[in-house]
Structure 1
């Protein structure tokens, strides 16, 4: 099956890295579902990308919203071949361990970990049924245990470490099914989260997630963490 017969769903796809991921996937011939909490933002993103993009109201922190959105997506396109879990938040201020803000921790985990998990639960069984799927979790080197060298942004770091663990577990569970699961670190990128002083543009941040989302049939790359298409230590 060619890319033009594939459908990708990008969460948090209305701006920044998510928008650029959607644009690059559309440029490669995929139909792209742009998920965003605000329908108007998703619609505007789709106008920017072009006719291959379809808007999808989606709040990954709500199990009801996830199930409704995936049902609507399947009604629109008939299949979801690629899932890019891009939706994410960074809410930490100057607080560092051992101190904790429970509200910030829960809100961060709800989006960065539980949201990705809910999306996988809703989408992956259909991929297994067709024998093909690509799941990309947009993460950060801040979540790498091997590279962790400070307590800055603790809730964000913990959430990405947990997302990395989810990536490994999903990859192990889905071995041999045709569904590949990988994590991508886009680097410090100019976006709503990364800010205007970041050294990388969205097109650079989107490159590795798009590469992993379009790994060809027969490729066995799964359970990996990559930055600039190069493996990083967990």
Structure 2
């Protein structure tokens, strides 16, 4: 059985993925933003092996989560599920970044760079990534009027870019992105039309399955099937530019394996 870390798993799709994986006998580490949410997560999934705690809206919190994860031992898979949605106003983090960019993009980058590389990485994206812009000239929205839907779409495009960049840089690690669908979670809203029960299946499948369809890298999946992505996600220049920006913001480069 595998050891799996799931970020943003005190509720929603992350917790659902944890339940699926624990139900199949895997050892699951959850992640919560603070100690209160960590207690809630353990109450919701008492089978969890551990909970790491840290605010992924702050670079210090990202580093703390990575440190806690490494202290618990190497994982077979990490699911980068944590995210904030498109209904929020522009919130500036303690590091002077847009919260949407910090949580949705910078956190999975820095955790990937700092956590002992697993065998598999899964990054949560969205169908809205197809409306994203790959322009990195103003990723923090300081020179533009805030547009939450566009900022979210951009961030979800960058999640796919990150997954593909890691697949290219670390060919021995299976790195893929997932579109869970528009499901009725706290982020998706009660009117979301997709099947919530299927929302977490694909990330759990990519994290553990030995099926040939799941043991691939540099893929983008919706309900366990490959799906086309924004063309910019496969641009080597866009990939390199995103890695360079994240390395500059965090002072940490993606290591070579």
Q: TM-score range by the shorter chain?
A: 0.7 to 0.9
**Number of positions where the alignment pairs a residue of Structure 1 with one of Structure 2:** 211
* CA 217–204 in structure 1, closer or farther in 2 if over 3 Å, else same: closer
Matched, 1:113 2:113: no
- 1:208-227: CA deviations, max 9, x gaps? 11111113298641111110
2:37 to 34, 41, 50: 41
Aligned-pair CA distance for 1:121: 0.8
TM alignment of 1:55-204, pairs within 5 A? 55-76=51-72, 78-92=73-87, 106-123=98-115, 126-127=116-117, 133-144=119-130, 153-175=149-171, 177=172, 179-204=173-198
In structure 2, the CA distance between the partners of 1:198 and 1:62, relative to structure 1 (3 Å rule), is same
What's the C-alpha RMSD, in Å, of the aligned pairs?
Answer: 2.5
Secondary structure of the structure 2 residue equivalent to 1:153: helix
Q: Give per-residue Cα distances to partners, 1:61-115, cap 9 Å, x unaligned.
A: 3332233223323333x2222111111111347x9xxxxx685982211111001
CA–CA separation in structure 1 for the residues paired with 2:3 and 2:63: 17
TM-score (norm 1): 0.81
Gaps of 5+ in 1: 96-100
Is this contact kept in 2: 1:20–1:202, CA < 8 A? no
Runs (4+) of structure 1 exceeding 3 A deviation are 101-105, 217-220
Q: Which moved more, 1:30-39 or 1:182-191?
A: 30-39
Partners of 1:152 and 1:102 in 2: CA distance:
10
Check whether the contact 2:131–2:150 (CA below 8 A) recurs between aligned residues.
Answer: no
Matched residue SS, 2:98: helix
Matches of 1:111 and 1:164, distance apart in 2: 15
Match of 1:205 in 2: 199
TM-score of the pair, normalised by structure 2:
0.74
Separation of aligned partners in 1, 2:70 and 2:91: 36
Matches of 2:185 and 2:119, distance apart in 1: 28
Structure 2 residue ranges without an equivalent (≥5):
133-146, 230-257
